[in-house]
């Protein structure tokens, strides 16, 4: 396909609602990743919950990645537009209430509930609202793309997600330096409110393409699916093993900010957090092309191994450059395994229930977040001031153990090699 043909495909292959949804997604990701980049540091240094900051922050990310399947029920029942409005309204209120914990004039209000209880409550509120965004935007992309351009539509969507992940923390750093870390949350709140207005004015309910009818979800159906999937202990066992990858990933946001400031004396920790996203943007199309003929399990194993070994670099060389190189190497591992993970999981699922099982394939991200927070707090409280290198060797060890367990799982339970 020539460049002119591709441009024509982009120009005529999508409705206006597709582009509006993607613009909304870009700015929502800027706000989300800006908050994600500073939330652990904010809870520790500004709110004062130093010893359990990552554990509390892990609730935010864990819940966001746990609930999208339930959010799909709300989309089916109330439509994309109303669900998006609810999402941005809850984001606006939630980000504001989180930021309030760092404002002098908000201390009396926060103290009424107790800092810890308050932070848990507002993090959960914000995360519940945030869980609504994925089924809304992904569903809109699917419904507003022609069959011939749907793959391109999702490529545009994922590119904007990664772009938001790359730019969001950088914007957060500028706001933190110029105004204070609490204003990062306030800016995310303002952005979410603007997105609420934008949705209200410009977003139109997408209409499904002819012949594109899908089964309507209900909470009863979701719980039935959960019982089906969770009853397959072999499948759940694999997801738990694979969550080790995401335990490592979340240390970029839970552990690196403190290591950067306290050990490396590098205040711009947000820039280190963006390295993964930038290199994912670079590596993903390259690795998808180079490894197209690899078997899914081979790509997953190599990617897992590369990601695990990357942390040894940080432990061995305590410099900013070493962190950049290590996170870039982790991104290479992520780009190697991520596209093939869903292919592998689809082969693990019973053939007549692939759709049901794939709906739960995101669980390792959530499990990894829930586990990574307490691990990060334990590492920081026990090693940061005495032996910081040990933290990164332990993170690498977690990845290597999970890589070995994944190989053992494949040999023991997966009879068909693929």
Per-residue pLDDT of 355-393, as tens digits, reads 677 778 888 999 999 999 999 999 999 999 999 999 999
Q: Write the CA distances from 190 to 28, 92, 119, 378, integer angstroms.
A: 11, 7, 19, 34
Domain end (from 217, 242, 257):
217
Dist. CA 331–CA 342, nearest whole Å:
18
Tell me, yes or no, whether 371 and 320 share the same domain: yes
Q: Are residues 272 and 188 in the same domain?
A: no
For residues 371 and 165, the model is more confident at 371
Tally Cβ neighbours within 10 Å of residue 73.
18
Residue 397 near residue 244, CB atoms below 8 Å: no
Q: Please provide residue 319's backbone torsions phi and psi, each rounded to the nearest 5 degrees.
A: -135, 160
Q: Do both 82 and 198 map to the same domain?
A: yes
Quick one: which of 268, 279, 71, 244 has its CA closest to 165? Answer: 279
Higher pLDDT, 224 or 54: 54
7 falls in which pLDDT band (50, 70, 90)? low
Residue 168 lies in a domain: yes
Q: Is residue 1 part of a domain?
A: no
pLDDT in tens, 285-303: 888 888 888 888 999 999 9
Question: Does 64 share its domain with 130?
Answer: yes
6 located within any domain: no
Q: What is the CATH number of the domain that holds 172?
A: 1.20.1250.20
Indicate the number of domains in the chain. Answer: 2
Is it the case that residue 81 has pLDDT exceeding 70?
yes
Q: Is pLDDT above 90 for 242?
A: yes
Residue 13 has pLDDT above 70, yes or no: no
Which residues does 71 contact at the CB level (< 8 Å), separation at least 6?
83, 131, 132, 134, 135, 136
Residue 221 has pLDDT above 90, yes or no: no
Whole-structure pTM value: 0.90
Same domain, 207 and 350: no
Does 223 reside within a domain?
A: no
Nearest CA to 88 out of 96, 76, 98, 77 is that of 96
- By residue range, what is the domain housing residue 355? 229-418
User: Do the Cβ atoms of 4 and 220 come closer than 8 Å?
Assistant: no
**For the range 382-391, what are the long-range contacts, defined as Cβ-Cβ under 8 Å and sequence gap of 24 or more?**
384/258, 384/259, 384/262, 384/263, 385/262, 388/259, 388/263, 388/315, 388/318, 389/315, 389/316, 389/318, 390/315, 391/255, 391/259, 391/315
Is residue 224 included in any domain, yes or no? no
Query: How is 128-167 classified by DSSP, letter by letter?
Result: HHHTTHHHHHHHHHHHTB-GGGHHHHHHHHHHHHHHHHHH
The percent of residues in the chain predicted with pLDDT above 90, rounded, is 62
Nearest-angstrom CA–CA distance, 372 and 277: 19
Output the pLDDT for position 211. Answer: 47
**Residues 198, 26 contacting (CB under 8 angstroms):** no
Task: Let me know: does 56 contact 120? Beta carbons within 8 Å.
Answer: yes
Same domain for 246 and 183: no
| H or E element at residue 400 | helix 388-413
Mean pLDDT across the chain: 89
Q: Which two tokens stand for residue 278?
A: 């930038």
């Amino acid at each position: 396909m020539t460049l002119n043909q591709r441009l024509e495909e982009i120009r005529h292959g999508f409705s206006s609602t597709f582009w509006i949804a993607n613009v909304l997604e870009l700015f929502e990701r800027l706000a989300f990743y800006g908050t994600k980049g500073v939330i652990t540091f904010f809870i520790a240094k500004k709110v004062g919950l130093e010893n359990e900051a990552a554990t509390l922050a892990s609730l935010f990310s864990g819940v966001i990645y746990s609930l999208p399947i339930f959010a799909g029920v709300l989309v089916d029942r109330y439509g994309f537009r109303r669900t998006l409005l609810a999402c941005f309204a809850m984001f606006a209120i939630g980000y504001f209430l989180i930021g309030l914990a760092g404002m002098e004039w908000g201390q009396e209000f926060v103290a009424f509930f107790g800092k810890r209880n308050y932070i848990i409550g507002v993090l959960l509120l914000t995360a519940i609202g945030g869980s609504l965004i994925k089924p809304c935007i992904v569903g809109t992309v699917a419904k507003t793309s022609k069959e011939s351009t749907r793959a391109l539509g999702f490529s545009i969507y994922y590119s904007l997600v990664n772009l938001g992940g790359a730019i969001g923390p950088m914007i957060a750093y500028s706001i933190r330096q110029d105004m204070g870390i609490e204003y990062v949350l306030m800016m995310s709140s303002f952005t979410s409110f603007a997105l609420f207005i934008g949705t209200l004015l410009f977003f139109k309910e997408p209409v499904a393409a002819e012949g594109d009818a899908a089964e309507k979800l209900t909470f009863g159906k979701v719980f039935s699916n959960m019982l089906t999937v969770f009853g397959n202990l072999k499948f759940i066992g694999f997801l738990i093993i694979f969550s080790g990858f995401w335990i490592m990933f979340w240390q970029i946001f839970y552990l690196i900010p403190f290591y950067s400031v306290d050990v490396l004396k590098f205040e711009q920790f947000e820039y280190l957090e963006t390295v993964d996203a930038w290199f994912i943007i670079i590596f993903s199309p390259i690795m998808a092309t180079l490894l197209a003929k690899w078997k899914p399990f081979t790509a997953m194993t190599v990617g897992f191994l590369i990601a695990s070994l990357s942390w040894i670099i940080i432990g061995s060389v305590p410099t900013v450059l070493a962190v950049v190189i290590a996170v870039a190497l982790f991104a290479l591992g992520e780009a190697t395994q991520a596209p093939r993970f869903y292919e592998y999981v689809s082969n693990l699922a019973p053939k007549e229930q692939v759709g049901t099982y794939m709906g739960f394939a995101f669980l390792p991200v959530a499990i990894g977040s829930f586990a990574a927070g307490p691990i990060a707090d334990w590492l920081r409280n026990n090693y940061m001031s005495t032996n910081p290198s040990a933290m990164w060797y332990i993170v690498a060890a977690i990845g290597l153990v999970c890589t070995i367990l994944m190989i053992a799982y494949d040999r023991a339970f997966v009879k068909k090699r693929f």
